[in-house]
């Protein structure tokens, strides 16, 4: 239990740092173009909605013993949604919150996003 909590805490910190870095990179690019800003926000809303539906469908299929959505697909959906609401989705659907192997895979994906965000940030601002 402590291990899962620690992994989730580290994941949430990584998401926060990554989103801050991405925000600092993207806001200057889209602030002068309102259409691009709206498209970016709409894309994130749609990606997060699709991710939520993926987690929800997998949870429902698990209860009904139907064909499940692979963890790889759930991780990819989370990455496409920039991990913005992954932990909230997991909490609301009560799905994959206690499976430490999934938590580690999610942490690896978040670490990749964080590394790419920081690399891009350094390339632009340093």
Q: Is 64 a member of any domain? A: yes
How far apart CA 21 and CA 7 sit, in angstroms, is 21
Highest mean pLDDT among 22-36, 41-55, 97-111: 41-55
Write the pLDDT tens digit of every residue in 55-92. 999 999 999 999 999 999 999 999 999 888 898 899 88
How far apart CA 126 and CA 120 sit, in angstroms, is 10
Q: What is the mean pLDDT of residues 12-41?
A: 87
The per-residue pLDDT for 60 is 95
Q: Is 11 a member of any domain? A: no
Expressed as residue numbers, the domain containing 75 is 34-121
Q: Is 19 a member of any domain? A: no
92 conformational bin, left if phi > 0, alpha if psi -120 to 50, beta if neither: alpha
Q: Is 14 a member of any domain? A: no
Structural contact between residues 118 and 21, judged by C-beta atoms closer than 8 angstroms: yes
The per-residue pLDDT for 87 is 87
The per-residue pLDDT for 67 is 95
pTM: 0.84
Q: Is 5 a member of any domain? A: no
Q: Is 27 a member of any domain? A: no
The per-residue pLDDT for 79 is 92
Q: Is 28 a member of any domain? A: no
Q: Is 16 a member of any domain? A: no
The per-residue pLDDT for 120 is 87
How far apart CA 62 and CA 111 sit, in angstroms, is 28
Residue tagged 């609401």 (tokens): 85
Looking at the structure of the chain, the number of domains it has is: 1
The per-residue pLDDT for 76 is 94
Sign of CA dihedral 119, 20, 93, 53: negative
Q: Report residue 97's pLDDT band, with 50, 70 and 90 as the boundaries.
A: confident
């Amino acid at each position: 239990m402590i291990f899962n909590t620690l992994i989730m805490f580290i994941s949430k910190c990584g998401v926060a740092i990554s989103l801050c870095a991405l925000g600092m990179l993207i806001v200057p690019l889209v602030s002068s173009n309102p259409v691009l800003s709206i498209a970016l926000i709409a894309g994130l809303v749609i990606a997060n909605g699709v991710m939520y539906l993926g987690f929800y469908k997998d949870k429902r299929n698990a209860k009904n013993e139907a064909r499940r959505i692979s963890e790889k697909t759930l991780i990819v959906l989370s990455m496409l949604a920039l991990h913005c609401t992954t932990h909230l989705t997991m909490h609301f659907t009560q799905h994959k919150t206690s499976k430490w192997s999934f938590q580690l895979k999610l942490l690896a994906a978040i670490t990749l996003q964080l590394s790419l965000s920081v690399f891009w940030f350094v390339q632009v601002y340093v």
